[in-house]
Structure 1
Amino acid sequence: MNYILYAVPFFFALIALELLLDHWRGFSTYRFADAINSLSAGVLSTTVGLLTKAVGLLTYTLAWQQWALFELSASSLWVWLFAFVFYDFCYYWNHRLGHERNVLWAAHSVHHQSEDYNLSTALRQTSTGFVFGWIFYLPMAVAGVPPLVFLTVAALNLLYQFWVHTRHIPKLGWFEWLFITPSNHRVHHAQNAVYMDRNYGGVFILWDRFFASYQEELDEEPVIFGVTTPLASWNPLWANAQFYVALWRDAVRAESWWDKLRIWFMRTGWRPADVVAKYPQSKPDLSHFVKFDVPLSLLQKVYAGAQFSLYVVGGTLLLGMGAELSLAQMLLGVAWMAFGLYVIGVLLENRPSAKRMELLRVLLNLPFAWLAVQLGWLVPQPLLWGLLLSYSVLSLAGLLCTPREHNPLLIQ
């Protein structure tokens, strides 16, 4: 069962509830473009996962079949409890090294780039974590945890983590000693020096207490969310590429071949000495911290929000049909989603090229639909083409009627 797919309506219902709490309590934890960017990263991640999830599943299943030391039964309750705790232990080390090694941080940093903290941040996920993430769960396969049990506890672990991404829930007393809570996870998302690289557990905070990575949220040190190298973009594709590009540039600049290789696996933030000397980097002064933002008119927000809604529906449908799609169909779906979410990011950044890119996106929906028909994905019915043409006309009309807000950041 795909628990994440069935949870999607509850995710959005709880986000709506959090927005109501914002209004009721008289403060805002959401900004429109930031929330759309977080959700876009999540939609992109689940879509790309149609192509990449087999990496982890196949390697886990192969390891379980060939190397399992014990035969554990999926019908035993203790096996499920054992697997649930074991998974969180493996997740702790995956998560911790995801902060401590350059190439792993390049994937995981996507989840931390938001400078706000709300339930939409929970859905902000990487599209490249599959490259190394599977390695950390192989001990479960060797211990004999069946793939069905592994997949289920993995989904449950991820679902648990959703609710802790909120500023509305205070410290929870004794619960703080055993489990990950909103308070100790707010610490994890902070860029304050005292909070950096702490509280890695997914469900249990016990691992952090055992391995000296725990930090309590302090009343005298308000959390400042985000990363020390700001994304400064609403583009979900760039969000996934940003730190890889930074590592690649430093690797190319380095004179030593050893430095070119080891930079990828050194502690996060390590750079070759000759690169640091020629290309120094300054860290932001948190005492004067200003969140990245781009002015948008109400019409621009309405238009971008309406278009993004289409991709939420499209991504959910792709996730639901994943097992039935051919490789060509999945590639087409991923390409359509990725390009559309990229263009929405351009719109939110209010770039001079935004209207041209949006015009191209709307026009490309027709050949995308034609390809879908050729691949046997869609039935060429008159109603289908009528709806697509109507959508395209309405989008173009909305685009022409939406004035471009002046952007003082002069994004080019």
Structure 2
Amino acid sequence: MNYILYAVPLFFLLIGLELLADRWRGRHSYRLADALSSLGTGLLSQATGVLTKAVGLLTYTFAWQHLALFELSADSLWVWLLAFVFYDLCYYWNHRLGHERNVLWAAHAVHHQSEDYNLSTALRQTSTGFLFGWIFYLPMAVAGVPPLVFLTVAALNLLYQFWVHTRHIPKLGWLEWLLITPSNHRVHHAQNPVYMDRNYGGVFILWDRLFGTFQEELDDEPVIFGVTVPLASWNPLWANLQVYAGLWYDAKRASSWWDRLRIWLMPTGWRPADVAARYPQEKPDLSRFCKFEVALGRGQQIYALLQFGLYLVAGTWLLARADDLAPLQAALGCAWIALGLYGIGAWLENRAWALRLELLRLALNLPTLWLAGSLDLLVPDARAWVWLAGYSLVSLLGLCWLRTRGSTSAALAPPV
């Protein structure tokens, strides 16, 4: 069972309530482009997960079948409780090393790139965590935790973490000593030096207190959210590639083959000395910190929001059918969603070529529907063709209207 899929309506209900709380308290926790970027990375993560989830599941099941030291029963409540705690311990080390090693940070950085902090940030997830994340949970398989129990406690751990991504809940007294709370997790998302690389637990803060990585939120040190090498983009695809690209270019530029190899496993932020000297990286001055922003007209924002709504519905449908899809079918669905999210990101950044990309994306809709039918991904009837053609035509008319009103003029200039 895909617990995340069933939780989607609750996620958006709570986001709506947080928006109302923002208005009631006079706060501004949300920016449309940032929220769509976060939701887009989450949607991309779930879509690509249809293709990659087997990596973790197969390796875990294989280890459980061949390496388990104990036979634990999924019918025992104690097995479930111990597995829930055990998972969070494994998550702590996965999360901690995700901050402490370059190649692991390249995957996890996606979750930290937002310079806002709200419930949409919770859904900002990586699409490449499957590469190494499975390694950290093999101890559970060796201990004999059945795959069904493992998958369920993993989903519950992830679902728990949703509610802590808010600025509206203050410190919660004695719970701060036991659980990851909004206050504890705000610290984790900070780029202030005093807060960086702290509070790694998913559910329990006890691991951080035990292993020396706990930091309390301080009244005299307001949290500044984001990463020290800003993403400066609203594009979900680039969000997943930025750190990998930086490591790749640093490796190519290094004069030493040893440096080219070891850069991937070195502590986060490590760069070859010769590369750092020739290509220095400036870190933002937090005393003058400004969030990344691109000016958008109201029409542009509404257009982006409506387009994202379509891909959200399509992504939810893809997740609902995930168990029935062949790899080629899932790949087509993921590619279509990825192209759409890339186009929305370019639109939100006012890229000079965003309008041309939108025209190309709309032109590809009907051929994509035909290809989906030929692959038995769906069986398009006359209504499907009419609806998709109508959507593409309405979107095209919307683009023409925005251009006539001059609302896309900003799209002819690079982002600020």
What CA distance in whole angstroms lies between the structure 2 residues aligned with 1:200 and 1:409?
Answer: 40
Q: Which residue of 1 aligns with 2:179?
A: 179
Kindly indicate whether the alpha-carbon contact (under 8 Å) linking 1:45 and 1:127 is maintained by their aligned counterparts in 2.
yes
Q: Deviations over 1:52-104 (max 9, x none)?
A: 00000000000000000000000000000000000000000000000000000
Q: Output the amino acid matched with 2:268.
A: T
Give the match for residue 415 of structure 2.
411
1:243-258 equivalences under 5 Å are 243-258=243-258
CA contact (8 A) 1:228 1:283 kept: yes
8 Å CA contact 2:4–2:155 kept in 1: the answer is yes
- Cα distance between partner residues in 2 of 1:299 and 1:172: 41
Once residues 401 and 15 of structure 1 are traced to their aligned partners in structure 2, the CA distance between those partners, rounded to angstroms, is: 31
Paired AA for residue 13 in structure 1: L
Indicate if the aligned counterparts of 2:351 and 2:412 stay in contact, CA closer than 8 A. no
Identity %: 72
SS of residue paired to 1:174: helix
AA aligned to 2:30 is: Y
| Alignment map for 1:88-167 (pairs within 5 Å) | 88-167=88-167
**Residues of 1 paired with 2:125 and 2:400: CA distance?**
33
The correspondence of residues 310-389 of structure 1 with structure 2, limited to 5 A, is 310-389=310-389
Could you tell me whether the CA contact under 8 Å between 1:295 and 1:407 is conserved in 2? no
Q: Compared with structure 1, are the counterparts of its residues 358 and 407 closer, same or farther at alpha carbon in structure 2 (3 Å cutoff)?
A: closer
Deviation at 1:407, TM superposition (A): 7.0
Structure 1 contact 187–217 (Cα < 8 Å) conserved:
yes
Q: Is the 8 A contact 2:352 2:411 kept in 1?
A: no
Q: Output the amino acid matched with 1:410.
A: P
Q: Amino acid of the residue matched to residue 147 of structure 1?
A: P
TM-fit CA distance, 1:406: 3.2
1:97 & 1:82 partners in 2: Cα distance? 23
> Deviation at 1:328?
1.2
Task: Provide closer, same or farther for how the CA distance between residues 179 and 346 of structure 1 changes in structure 2, counting only shifts above 3 A.
Answer: same
Structure 1 position 379, deviation (Å): 1.8
CA contact (8 A) 1:294 1:407 kept: no
Instruction: Report the AA paired with residue 257 of structure 1.
Output: W
Letter of the structure 1 residue corresponding to residue 329 of structure 2: Q
Q: Deviations along 1:96-149, whole A, 9 cap, x unmatched?
A: 000000000000000000000000000000000000000000000000000000
Cα deviation, 1:325-349, whole Å, max 9, x if unaligned, reads 1111101001001011000000000
Aligned partners of 2:232 and 2:94: how far apart in 1?
A: 27
Indicate how the Cα distance of structure 1 residues 409 and 109 shifts in structure 2: closer, same or farther if over 3 A, else same: farther
Aligned to 1:237: 237
For residues 123 and 194 of structure 1, do their structure 2 counterparts lie closer, same or farther at Cα, with a shift above 3 Å needed? same
Task: Using the TM superposition, give the Cα deviation of residue 283 of structure 1 relative to its aligned residue in structure 2, in angstroms.
Answer: 0.7
Q: CA deviation at 1:281?
A: 1.1
CA RMSD in angstroms, aligned pairs only: 1.1
Does structure 2 conserve the Cα–Cα contact (< 8 Å) formed by 1:107 and 1:128?
Answer: yes
Letter of the 1:406 counterpart: A
**1:296 match: secondary structure:** coil
Cα deviation 1:244-284 (Å, max 9, x = unaligned): 00000000011111100000000000001111111111110
Task: Please identify, of 394-403 and 135-144, the stretch whose mean Cα deviation from structure 2 is larger.
Answer: 394-403
Q: Give 1:305 deviation, angstroms.
A: 0.3
In structure 2, C-alpha distance between the alignment counterparts of 1:357 and 1:206, rounded to whole Å: 49
1:34-59 deviation per Cα after TM superposition (whole angstroms, max 9, x unaligned): 00000000000000000000000000
The alpha carbon displacement at 1:230 in A equals 0.2
Q: How far 1:400 sits from its partner (Å)? A: 1.0
CA distance in 2, matches of 1:214, 1:408: 47
Distance in 2 (CA, whole Å) between partners of 1:409 and 1:337 is 26
Q: Residue type matched to 2:295 in 1? A: P
Distance 2:131 2:255 in 1: 27
Structure 2: distance between partners of 1:147 and 1:320? 21
1:165 alignment partner, SS class: coil
- CA displacement 1:161-193 (0-9 Å, x = unmatched): 000000000000000000000001000000000
Q: Is the 8 A contact 1:188 1:196 kept in 2?
A: yes
Instruction: Give ranges in structure 1 of 5+ residues lacking alignment.
Output: none
Aligned residue number for residue 275 of structure 1: 275
- Taking the aligned partners of 2:90 and 2:295, their CA distance within structure 1 comes to 42
Q: 1:384, 1:322 → 2: CA distance?
A: 20
Q: Equivalent residue for 2:189?
A: 189
Whether contact under 8 Å (1:297, 1:405) holds in the other structure is: no
How far apart, in 2, do the equivalents of 1:408 and 1:374 lie? Answer: 38
Equivalent in the alignment of 1:226? 226
SS at match of 2:359: helix
Task: Name 1:86's counterpart in structure 2.
Answer: 86
Summarize the alignment of residues 285-296 of structure 1 with structure 2, pairs less than 5 Å apart: 285-296=285-296
**How far off its partner does 1:410 sit?**
3.2
- Secondary structure of the equivalent of 2:264? coil
1:57 pairs with 2:57: yes
Distance 1:408 1:98 in 2: 38
Does the residue aligned with 1:391 lie in a helix, a strand or coil? helix
Contact 1:308 1:344 in 2 (8 A): yes
Aligned-pair CA distance for 1:408: 11
| Counterpart residue type for residue 408 of structure 2 | R
